[in-house]
Amino acid sequence: MEIRVYVDERTPPAGQVRRVGAGEPIPFSGWLDLIRALERLIAEPDEGPAPHRVDG
């Protein structure tokens, strides 16, 4: 499972999180909201491995 965090504001942190290859991004505002969004993404059923990514 790969989760990406997009940060729009740094203090307090605000932005969106999304699981690669699945669903819509979940907005967050603040550290606790970020943790809730991550918990929600982790709790969703996994649809299999994400495509292999090659960096470089």
Question: pLDDT digits over 2-56, tens only?
Answer: 999 999 999 999 999 999 988 899 999 999 999 999 999 998 776 665 566 666 5
Q: What is the pLDDT of residue 50?
A: 57
Beta pairing, strands 3-9 & 14-19: antiparallel
- pTM: predicted TM-score of the whole model, two decimal places: 0.70
Q: What is the pLDDT of residue 55?
A: 63
- Nearest alpha-carbon partner for 27 in 18, 44, 43, 19: 18
Domain residue ranges of the chain, discontinuous segments joined by +:
3-43
Q: What is the pLDDT of residue 49?
A: 58
